[in-house]
Amino acid sequence: MSLNREQMLIEMGISPIWELRGVPSEAVRQPAEQLEAIAEPADPPPLPTPPASGCDVGSLDWPALEEGIRACRRCPLGQQRRQAVPGIGDRRPDWLFIGEGPGAEEDQRGEPFVGQAGKLLDAMLAAISLERGQGVYIANAVKCRPPNNRTPEAAEMAACSPWLERQIELLKPRVIVLLGKAAVHSVLGGDRALASLRGRAHEYRGIPVAVTYHPAYLLRNLPDKAKAWEDLLFARRLLAEGKR
């Protein structure tokens, strides 16, 4: 008997897929910007600009890398953040998920994906039997919050990329999942539409890479969650096919 996708998801106990527990469905349907605006703190006063660091990021160990990220003033985002958000999770992970940049709640708590989009990301992880911190590391293309949660600019992502590159070098994940366009452009470069990159195996320095939608986008476009589910299954296949 062949099952359609909805029947398959019901069989797997994840339908309706990725509903947030304890969050009224109307809240989930609000645009992510609105949800973030609710908890928007007042912007902190700008920090003084220390001299640019001349350190060789490519040789840093974890403590020095995180310290460097927290002290970074390589781009204007470093002036306006409350704190930098280096990333979190297992430092010998199979999976590396890369988002765009911290939002208001992440800026406040110093951890990536802790707001509404983060709750959805956790549900997405759970749908493929993953858990934050267990074989999973979560990072962002930029480590400091862009004002008003705007998309990071190309120059900001370029300024931040040595930090992300070093994280990837240290983490040596078996698969990378890029969440949304900014992460794609930061890691793979180019300016191609996300839709044209989904479902295809990409590569970053020998590591297989899959592309999917950003969870904040999925909160606004619920039907595309099914496509994101397919993308996660695709990423899991890439991981299974890869060797370490």
**Contact residues for ligand URA, defined by CB under 6 A:** 99-103, 106, 112-113, 115, 117-118, 140, 216
**Nearer to ligand URA among residue 103 and residue 173 (C-beta):** 103
Which structure tokens are listed for 35?
Answer: 């949800």
**Nearer to ligand URA among residue 65 and residue 116 (C-beta):** 116
Residue 197: name the closest of 239, 225, 234 by CA. Answer: 234
Q: Compute the 3-state secondary structure of the chain and give helix, strand, coil in percent, each to the nearest 5.
A: 45, 10, 45
**Nearer to ligand URA among residue 9 and residue 125 (C-beta):** 125
Query: Distance between terminal CA atoms of the chain?
Result: 36
Shortest distance in whole angstroms from residue 97 CB to ligand URA:
9
For 79, 172, 187, 234, the CA distances from 177, given in Å and listed in that order, are 29, 13, 10, 10
**Nearer to ligand URA among residue 9 and residue 105 (C-beta):** 105
Shortest distance in whole angstroms from residue 224 CB to ligand URA:
16
**Nearer to ligand URA among residue 113 and residue 229 (C-beta):** 113
Shortest distance in whole angstroms from residue 70 CB to ligand URA:
15
**Nearer to ligand URA among residue 117 and residue 228 (C-beta):** 117
106 Cβ partners below 8 Å, 6+ apart? 85, 112, 113, 114, 115, 118, 145
Residue 111: name the closest of 92, 93, 138, 131 by CA. Answer: 138
Return d(Cα 223, Cα 165) in angstroms, integer. 33
Shortest distance in whole angstroms from residue 59 CB to ligand URA:
27
Shortest distance in whole angstroms from residue 5 CB to ligand URA:
27
Which structure tokens are listed for 96?
Answer: 């590396």
When CB distances to ligand URA are compared, the closest residue is: 99
Shortest distance in whole angstroms from residue 52 CB to ligand URA:
25
Which structure tokens are listed for 136?
Answer: 């999973």
Q: Where are the beta strands (DSSP E) in 121-244?
A: 136-140, 175-179, 202-204, 207-212
